[in-house]
Structure 1
Amino acid sequence: MQKLQFESAWDKTVSKKHRKIIEDAFASTEFLLDDSIQVTSLWQALNHKGNLLVTTLVHNTTQQSFSFQNTKLRYVEDNLVIAEHTFTIPAFVVEPKTSIPWTFIFPKESLVSSTTFQDGDIEIVKEEKSSD
């Protein structure tokens, strides 16, 4: 059974409004039948430096712990890639059958297109296998 967990820093600082949004999103998530890592985008914004901040729920539906190690993510709106960046976040570990809120920060330089930054999705880019 999938459970929602907040990192200690999140648990202390998240507003009641955002906690409700996160809990509602978790409750309405339809998990894929296969063991996988799923990402649900919640909201996004540009900060004062021009970086794209995308707040998500990361769902680990597998039986193993998961962390972002050299993992390429894309922020996509209407099938258009807006930003792409490779993340390594050693301190961020998602335990098996657990969902955790997390904000991914795409550096300004990773933005390849401009948009309204609404209703986008995060995609995990699968490594392409070489055909040697």
Structure 2
Amino acid sequence: MQRLIFESAWDRTIDARDRERIKHVFEQANEKDKPLRPFVLLNQAHNHRGDLLITVLIQNGLETNWILHNQTLTYYEANTPIATETFSDKRLAIPSKCSMPWTFIFPKKTMQQEPNFKEGELRSTSLDEI
């Protein structure tokens, strides 16, 4: 059974409404008999530099901890790749059977086309799947 956790900086700073929304998405994504999806989309946006911000609920269904190390991720819309980047961040360590929200920042230069923020999905293209 999955357990929802928050990275310490998120836990201290997240707005109460956002926390409740994430809890609701977590509960829906983990309903009985639903297959576990490694990335559940929470939000997509641009920052002031034009970078693409993709916020997801990462669900570690493995029996071991998952650490973000050289993971190549691609953001898709309607099965069309929008941006690809390789990420490493030791702060992102998700214990076994836990889910945690996280925002991935795809620099503007990694975008193959401008997103429309419809039918979005984040996928791992690395061998180290969650």
In the superposition, the TM-score normalised over structure 1's length comes to: 0.88
- In structure 2, the residue matched to 1:32 is 35
1:49 match: secondary structure: coil
SS of 1:117's equivalent in the other structure is: coil
Q: Where has structure 1 moved over 4 Å in runs of 4 or more?
A: none
Comparing 42-51 with 23-32, which one deviates more in the overlay? 23-32
Give the RMSD, CA atoms, in angstroms.
Answer: 1.5
Cross-structure match for 1:57? 57
Higher-Rg member (1/2) = 1
Deviations 1:50-72 (A, max 9, x none): 11011110000111000111110
Structure-2 separation of matches of 1:126 and 1:11: 28
Q: Distance in 2 between matches of 1:90 and 1:109?
A: 24
State, as a whole percentage, how many aligned pairs show the same letter.
37
* Distance of 1:69 and 1:7 partners within structure 2: 16
Q: State the one-letter code of the partner of 1:110.
A: T
- Structure 1: segments with no counterpart, 5+ residues: 128-132
Provide, for residues 69-89 of structure 1, a one-character-per-residue CA deviation record: whole Å limited to 9, x for no partner.
111001001111110000111
State the one-letter code of the partner of 1:86. Answer: T
Do 1:44 and 1:118's aligned partners in 2 also have CA atoms closer than 8 Å?
no
Alignment pair present for 1:124 and 2:110:
no
| CA distance in structure 2 between the partners assigned to 1:73 and 1:67 by the alignment | 14
Amino acid at match of 2:50: G
Distance 2:89 2:119 in 1: 25
1:90, 1:81 → 2: CA distance? 26
Partner of 1:110: 110
Q: Unmatched 5+ residue regions in structure 2?
A: none
TM-score by length of 2: 0.89
